[in-house]
Structure 1
Amino acid sequence: MKKEDKNISRRNFLKIFGAGTVATGLTLAGCKKSEESVIDDYKKQVEPPKGKMTFRTNPKTGDKVSLLGFGMMRLPDTGGKAIGRESDDPIDQEMVNRLVDYAIEHGVNYFDTSPAYCKGMSENSTGIALSRHPRNKYFVATKLSNFSEETWSREESIKMYRNSFKELRVDYIDYYLLHSVGQGGMERFSARYLDNGMLDFVLAERKAGRIKNLGFSYHGDIEVFDYLLSRHDECQWDFVQIELNYLDWEWADEINDRNTDAVYLYNELQKRGIPSVIMEPLLGGRLANVPQYLAKEMKQRDPEHSIASWAFRYAGSPEGVLTVLSGMTYMEHLKDNLLSYCPLKPVTEDEKKFLYHIAEELVGVETIPCNDCKYCMPCPYGVDIPGIFVHYNKCKNEGTLPRQVKDETYDKLRRDYLIGLDRAVPKLRQANHCIGCGRCEVHCPQNIRIPRELRKIDEYVEKLKQGTF
């Protein structure tokens, strides 16, 4: 949804923004300044109170759902990192159990997973952790994540659906989603859910009671979103998962050609009385790792809370929001998010204006809109796509990218960037190994033109190596 008073065109926005986000600083290798600034937010962290969680009521079922939902897509591994590109270590199940126990102890009862998360291991790990608790203590959400053409057949899709019950150790699923609809437009959506009869199948499964709430998560083409809402009388969607944060609220359609502002998505759901489940409240970590000058401004306004808490309070404030998902790898992240919602202090109108000011400032930061979701992985040629983007974005946000003007800091910044890149991404997985096949693009929820961005970074790195940039 565009506003007349926006003073920047789509073309200029894309030229300036290139777009972007950074993953949470604690999980990144490279520039120490960012990591230390994030850790500083937790040095004086207090214990979140018990019995203070804010709950929202699902108007369709009466479920009392915790406003903080636990996203099980960035689970810790035994090497102390988030499962994904950082290592091939197994999930640290003991740590996952501790996180889940602490979350439930403090009121969290919504846990969101997928067959695609954590290299296919998230559902199993989530099932192990949750099955140690009474079944009425939690709601589990999972998805029909039939992304690849090999899983589009009815047989393979049903196999994926039934395997979720096995992995999660349940005989019903509380919240089930058609995953990432909109990517690839109506043609791809039809192949995944209509032509194979899977939409009719999951509707029948809900009627049979094996699915308690049925919805979908939206990424990309607004035609698909509007189509599904046009079938609401028939499908009776129980909830819809959308991306919502203070940058996406008005600027999403400017960041990506096919994404739509959150204000439109949320209001369309509100018109139909459909609860919203929120993903990307931090925009993949970008809103927790804002440039230092903005972080200073936010800290001056609220010195007692983290930068991330602003985004969580914003995402949880609309009354139509059922729960806000956060992928939490570390106990510090969980505790900080609990402090935001135990209980929620809704953002005021004055605070909204302040956050929109921050959003407009972020528009001018030339980064790449990567949320580090890893849906583009694995690359058939071994390129670590999110790792390359994360390193670039991190240094861009910190102002440590070497500039074309060679001043007294150029040689140091040039050296730091190249060394940091080699530490973050092995040489054989860097951008110069991309052949431009484009297989990654269709899987990107942010609609990044991945080969193009990798080519630009490769050219930039080559110039740095030669000392010509």
Structure 2
Amino acid sequence: CLFCNLLIFSVCCGETGIKTFHDRYIDNGVLDFLLKEREEGRIRNLGWSFHGSVEVFDYLLSLDVKWDFVQIQMNYVDWRHASKRNVNAEYLYGELSKRGIPVVIMEPLLGGRLSKLNDHLVARLKQRRPENSVASWAFRFAGTYPDVLCVLSGMTYMEHLQDNLRTYSPLEPLNDEEKEFLEETAQLMLQFPTIPCNDCKYCMPCPYGLDIPAILVHYNKCVNEGNVPKSSQDENYRRARRAFLIGYDRSVPKLRQASRCTGCDQCSPHCPQRIDIPKELHRIDAYVEQLKQETL
């Protein structure tokens, strides 16, 4: 990252953990090279982006290396409820803070999901701060902690930039009661069976042409909007069925839908959230067929 004089290397070591880290960075001399470059002044700040296990995280912190920063996934859901084999941000931040290592935050909106909550949760947040966006709660959470160096927001539109400026200029840190309020919100959010996809697109391209992120994002959107009926006896079954199927065809071209998945599993190893992607695609495809055939 030349504009801020940071060099970030990714630590995503999968199942093999410390051995993979040694293969990638120690045994081939890469880490020694980076440390030498920092000593020579060509790298001003050296740190790493973490996607892995507690074992690897703790190991890197135990090395006799001065880290200038570490990038972690941190938001008010992952603080105590990290999904799959991710690590709770409360632990990650705490270990970095103890060592005085500045923190760069990725996924403050959990892949956008914390800006697109279901109507019940939106109403819950709006009741407290009617003038503020849903996303601003997540950004305030990320910016509240004193050792945070930078929050990566992933802005797309001018409105996002404007909302971020309103949130951070100046930042109003969360108080303890608001932190507890967001913890309760996270617990309510987890009652909805969404797939922990952050739409990062690391799983792409699919060799068989599927638009994996679009499929998972559509499913999550329908869950949050109450358009995933469990039975034909549900009160809003007809409306929800129509919304799911029409939205699916509009969001994902037919030749890129879940029905095309062969189960090759080239995607799963690249997923930072450790989603069993073929399993989820087959489940969604089976559900779509049930909706089409009206066999729920």
- Between the aligned partners of 1:259 and 1:289, the Cα distance in structure 2 is 22
Name which of 228, 238, 244 aligns with 1:417.
244
Name which of 158, 170, 176 aligns with 1:343.
170
Measured against aligned partners, the alpha-carbon deviations of 1:112-150 in whole angstroms (never above 9, x if no partner) come to 6xxxxxxxxxxxxxx8xxxxxxxxxx51xxxxxxxxxxx
Tell me whether 1:326 sits opposite 2:153 in the alignment.
yes
Measured against aligned partners, the alpha-carbon deviations of 1:335-391 in whole angstroms (never above 9, x if no partner) come to 101111101100011111111110110111110000000111111111111110000
Does structure 1 retain, via aligned residues, the 8 Å contact 2:232–2:294? no
- Between the aligned partners of 1:419 and 1:407, the Cα distance in structure 2 is 19
Name which of 261, 265, 268 aligns with 2:88.
261
- Partner of 1:401, secondary structure, is coil
Does structure 2 retain, via aligned residues, the 8 Å contact 1:182–1:218? no
- Between the aligned partners of 1:384 and 1:196, the Cα distance in structure 2 is 36
Tell me the TM-score normalised to structure 2 length: 0.95
Residue in 2 that maps onto 1:282: 109
- Between the aligned partners of 1:460 and 1:260, the Cα distance in structure 2 is 30
Residue in 1 that maps onto 2:50: 218
- Between the aligned partners of 2:280 and 2:23, the Cα distance in structure 1 is 29
Q: Which runs of 5+ in 1 are unaligned?
A: 1-111, 113-126, 128-137, 140-173
Tell me whether 1:305 sits opposite 2:137 in the alignment.
no
- Between the aligned partners of 1:187 and 1:440, the Cα distance in structure 2 is 22
- Between the aligned partners of 2:257 and 2:275, the Cα distance in structure 1 is 17
Does structure 2 retain, via aligned residues, the 8 Å contact 1:250–1:261? yes
Measured against aligned partners, the alpha-carbon deviations of 1:286-316 in whole angstroms (never above 9, x if no partner) come to 1111111111011011011101001100110
Cα shift at 1:189:
2.6
Percent identity of equivalent pairs: 59
Cα shift at 1:408:
5.9
Tell me the TM-score normalised to structure 1 length: 0.61
Name which of 286, 292, 295 aligns with 2:119.
292
Tell me whether 1:248 sits opposite 2:78 in the alignment.
yes
- Partner of 1:380, secondary structure, is coil
Answer 1 or 2: higher relative contact order, Cα 8 Å, separation at least 6: 1
Residue in 1 that maps onto 2:210: 383
Number of matched residues?
A: 295
Name which of 267, 273, 279 aligns with 1:440.
267
Does structure 1 retain, via aligned residues, the 8 Å contact 2:140–2:172? yes
- Between the aligned partners of 2:47 and 2:130, the Cα distance in structure 1 is 39
* Structure 1 residues 369-408: aligned runs within 5 Å: 369-407=196-234
Alignment RMSD: 1.5
Cα shift at 1:412:
3.3
Name which of 335, 358, 363 aligns with 2:185.
358
Amino acid across the alignment from 2:10: H
Amino acid across the alignment from 1:216: W
Cα shift at 1:180:
4.1
- Partner of 2:114, secondary structure, is coil
Residue in 1 that maps onto 2:280: 453
- Between the aligned partners of 2:65 and 2:55, the Cα distance in structure 1 is 17
Name which of 28, 52, 76 aligns with 1:196.
28
Does structure 2 retain, via aligned residues, the 8 Å contact 1:175–1:214? yes
Amino acid across the alignment from 1:177: I
Amino acid across the alignment from 1:332: E
